[in-house]
Amino acid sequence: MTHEHAWTRLPDLLDDRDQPELLAHVAACHDCQRQLFLLGRVDRALRGAAAARRNERRRFRRGRWLRFPAGLAAAAVAVLLVMMFLPHTAATHAFTLRTAAGRPIGQAILNRSDTENTSLTLVARGLPAHRRDTYVLWAGATNGRPTTVGRFMVDPTGACRARFNLPGGHRWARFWVTPPGQPHAVVATT
Amino acid sequence: MTGVPASKRVMAPVPDDVIPQQLDRATADSASPAASDAELLRAIGEGSEPAFEELRHRYRRAIERACRQIVGGDLEDCAQEVFVRIWRKASLYDRDRGSAPAWLLTLARRTALNVRRRRELPLPDELADETGAVEPPDVDRFWVEAALERLPERERRVLELAYFHDLSQSAIAAELRVPLGSVKSWTRRGLHRLATILDEETA
């Protein structure tokens, strides 16, 4: 992979860390590492701005509903009905990742995307600084062998935010993190 | 500031050793979309109206949002007052003491708090400890809203749809009726461009 090609594709690493060729180039290229760090800051700023907008909209809606008690009551009834009659397939399930010492360092959050896929968001902070700053996330289902979910990169403070897709139709019971090539050296687990 | 027509404004004489081309370039550069926020503030401090217009274009939405958080509705007066204060105080901005977005956000918040006090509105609980001081994540959010305004339309649009409307790249392609490859390419270019702007602003 040429430097130009890798440079162009650097933003892809914000979502999908399972690109060994690209990661190998980044691990050896100071310019790409620096740009990826800046891209990470931009990504966090955009997510922060999006969250602020959502909160603002929520506050606005809340204020509006409070001015209309009848609407509020109707909404409460509607929510109750939905909760009673809808199947609970869209629920979110979060697992807390802890180090061997029991210190919580992040969460793996499962969200049903559709019947065939389950999306997984990994958010961690304070992972031990690793020489190449990449880790592997594993998943264990109740009825199967461990599966590699994907690789992800952490920033110099050990923080990361990555998204993955898992096959649907499994009951995922456990997640853990290891350095690449060392499947038994568990750094953190749920 | 805007009460006197530009044609009637009294201007300082131009020194003889400054050739017109140099003068044109200096005026254009300080107000160009490529100029950094700090460069714009410096030019505004020296009285450049084009630089002020460029800064207003970049930060209008971000400042209105900052005002809305504190003042609530009827924020136009507040945003207007913030820009008046920017015009008056830009020469006080010192790049060595912090980034331009942090200075602008602090100014916006303090102005909004003053407006709120003048209207004798009680501060809600979440703003009870508000002093106008800003935290780095707040500055990044404030900055990115303004930096988006500097992107080409299509790059800004795909990033807004992805981050603010939570659409997947396929959904954005369908929404904009363009090939998926174009969406991917505009997204990458837009993010790279924002990273470059961030690098310049924090250099």
pTM of the model: 0.55
Residue spans per domain, chain A = 1-86, 92-189
What pLDDT was estimated at residue A164?
79
Contacts of B99 in chain A (CB under 8 A): none
CB pair distance less than 8 Å for A41 and B195: yes
Taking the CA of residue A183 and the nearest CA in chain B, the distance in Å comes to: 32
- Residues of chain B short of pLDDT 70, as ranges, are 1-31, 74, 120-137, 202-203
Residue A77 has pLDDT above 90, yes or no: no
pLDDT per residue as tens digits for the range A87-110 = 544 457 788 888 887 888 888 888
Question: How far from B26 is each of B16, B30, B31, B108, CA to CA, in Å?
Answer: 16, 6, 9, 28
Q: Which fold has domain A92-189?
A: Immunoglobulin-like (2.60.40)
Contacts (Cβ under 8 Å, ≥6 apart) of A21: A1
Residue appearing with tokens 């300080």: B30
Task: Give the whole-angstrom CA distance, residue A128 versus residue A177.
Answer: 11
The residues near A181 (Cβ < 8 Å, ≥ 6 apart) are none
End-to-end alpha-carbon separation of chain B, Å? 32
Helix, strand, coil abundance in chain A, percent, nearest 5: 40, 30, 30
Could you tell me how far CA A121 lies from the centroid of its own chain? 2
Contact between A39 and A14 (Cβ < 8 Å)? yes
More confident residue, B197 or A145: B197
CATH number listed for the domain at residues B30-150: 1.10.1740.10
Residue B131 makes CB contacts below 8 A (sequence gap 6+) with B113
Q: Which of A51 and B118 is assigned the larger pLDDT?
A: A51
Q: What is the pLDDT of residue A91?
A: 57
> Looking at the complex, does the CB of residue A173 fall below 8 Å from at least one CB of chain B?
no
Q: Is the CB of residue A181 less than 8 Å from the CB of residue A33?
A: no
Q: Which of A39, A44, A56 sits opposite B140 (nearest CB)?
A: A44
A159 touches chain B (CB under 8 A): no
Average pLDDT value over all residues in chain A: 79
User: Which of A10-19, A37-46, A67-76, A163-172 comes out lowest in average pLDDT?
Assistant: A67-76
Parse chain B into domains and list their residue ranges. Answer: 30-150, 152-203
Given this model, what pLDDT does residue B28 score? 44
Mutation target among B188, B193, B201, B202 for the A interface, most CBs of A within 10 A: B188
H helix runs in chain B, sequence order: 20-31, 37-45, 49-71, 76-89, 100-118, 136-148, 153-163, 169-176, 180-202
Rounded Cα gap, residues B195 and A42, in angstroms: 6
For residue A3, the model assigns a pLDDT of 93
* CA angle in degrees (0–180, nearest 5) for A94-A177-A1: 115
- The mean per-residue pLDDT over the stretch A136-156 comes to 79
Question: Is the CATH number of domain B152-203 1.10.10.10?
Answer: yes
Across the range A78-82, mean pLDDT stands at 69
Distance CA A150, CA A139 (A): 10
Confidence of residue A10 (pLDDT cuts 50, 70, 90): very high
∠A92-A97-A99 over CA atoms, to 5°?
175
Determine whether the interchain pair B192/A49 forms a contact, defined as Cβ–Cβ distance below 8 Å: no
Nearest-by-CA chain B residue for A12: B188
On whether the CB atoms of residues A172 and A147 are closer than 8 A, the answer is no
User: For residue B146, which of B96, B70, B86, B74 has the smallest C-alpha distance?
Assistant: B86
Give B33's DSSP letter.
T
- DSSP secondary structure string for all residues of A93-154: EEEEEEETT--EEEEEEEEE-SSSEEEEEEEE--PPP-TT-EEEEEEEETTS--EEEEEEE-
